[in-house]
Structures are given as structure tokens and as C-alpha cells.
């Protein structure tokens, strides 16, 4: 016989997402959530796609910014599922400014070896959840990246033409 889904049962179901493990990296202890919620994964992927869309809408393509934006997906994962103080976006923060702060944090985490070490401590199943959600929306991401590349190529070509004409 099936059980009735009560508030207490819902709390029990959600409790598994409050389990953490501690990862020591050098002198730092970082709490890492063991299981990732689908809802947070979806939010991360949508936020990531919004940054790609933001770059696409810029009047000029900044190739370095585009390249650096590709590496922030895992930083967004670390923001949501660890206690690393990755800044959260607020309504007053301009999107490009916030993107810049995410990139800065990403570079620090990579340069200090924290990024890779934490990713190595996330279970394959949880990484697969993020990848599956990203792949489900990859068509959109691929289109945005393709459009950014084309836009950049056109701007470079226009810049060369303008230099020749002048």
C-alpha cells in the first residue's frame, strides 16, 4: 500500500540534500553538498545561458570575455553546492559587472588549484546531472556561441576593411 505524502514525508525527502562532506585543500576546509538538487542545477544552467545571451547582445564582442565566460559554469556549481564565498548576483549589480566578478573568482580558484580539486571531489553522478541538463539545453548554448563567433569574425573583418579604407 502506498504511503500518503505528508509535510513530514516531504521534509524527509528533502533532507538528503542537506548532507555535506568536508574537503580539505591545503589549509582550507570546504563543505561540499553530496547530492545536487535538479532545481538548482536548472537555475545554474539557465544563468549560464543568460551570460552567453548577454555577450551575444553586446555591440562589440570581447574574445577574452567570451573565452573566460566558458569557464564559469563550474564556478556557478561551486557557488550553489559548496560554502565557497562566490558572490551572488543581486538586483543592483549590472550583469556584465557580475560576470566579471564571477570570472575573477574562477581565475583565483583555478590558479590556486581549488577549482580542479573540488571538481574531482564531486561524484560522477552529480557531474552527470549537470552535464545532462546542459546537454538538454546545449542546442541553445551552441547557437549562442556560434552567433558570438560569427559576430566576432564579422567585427574583425570590418575592422580590417576600415583600416584598409582609411
Q: Is residue 123 a part of any domain in this protein?
A: yes
Q: Containing domain of residue 117, as a range?
A: 32-165
What's the domain count of the chain? 1
**Under 8 Å CB-to-CB from 133, ≥6 apart: which residues?**
38, 41, 42, 45
Maximum alpha-carbon separation in the chain: 82
d(CA 103, CA 87): 11
- pLDDT score, position 116: 94
- pLDDT score, position 65: 85
- pLDDT score, position 156: 64
73-86 pLDDT, tens digit per residue, is 999 999 999 999 99
Q: Is residue 14 a part of any domain in this protein?
A: no
pTM score above 0.85: no
- pLDDT score, position 165: 46
Q: Is residue 7 a part of any domain in this protein?
A: no
Q: Which residues of the chain have pLDDT under 70?
A: 138, 140-142, 144-145, 155-166
Q: Is residue 12 a part of any domain in this protein?
A: no
d(CA 99, CA 139): 22
Give me the residue label for grid cell 532545481. 39
Amino acid at each position: 500500500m502506498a504511503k500518503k505524502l505528508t509535510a513530514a514525508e516531504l521534509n524527509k525527502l528533502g533532507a538528503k540534500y542537506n548532507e555535506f562532506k568536508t574537503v580539505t585543500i591545503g589549509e582550507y576546509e570546504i563543505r561540499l553538498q553530496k547530492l545536487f538538487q535538479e532545481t538548482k542545477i536548472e537555475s545554474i544552467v539557465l544563468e549560464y545561458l543568460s551570460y552567453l545571451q548577454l555577450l551575444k547582445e553586446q555591440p562589440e564582442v570581447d574574445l577574452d570575455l567570451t573565452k573566460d565566460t566558458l569557464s564559469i559554469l563550474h564556478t556557478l556549481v561551486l557557488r550553489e553546492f559548496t560554502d565557497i564565498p562566490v558572490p551572488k548576483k543581486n538586483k543592483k549589480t549590472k550583469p556584465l559587472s557580475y560576470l566579471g566578478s564571477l570570472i575573477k573568482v574562477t581565475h583565483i580558484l583555478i590558479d590556486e588549484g581549488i577549482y580542479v580539486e573540488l571538481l574531482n571531489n564531486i561524484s560522477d553522478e552529480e557531474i552527470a546531472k549537470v552535464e545532462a541538463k546542459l546537454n538538454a539545453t546545449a542546442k541553445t548554448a551552441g547557437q549562442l556561441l556560434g552567433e558570438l563567433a560569427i559576430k566576432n569574425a564579422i567585427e574583425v573583418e570590418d575592422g580590417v576593411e576600415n583600416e584598409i579604407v582609411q
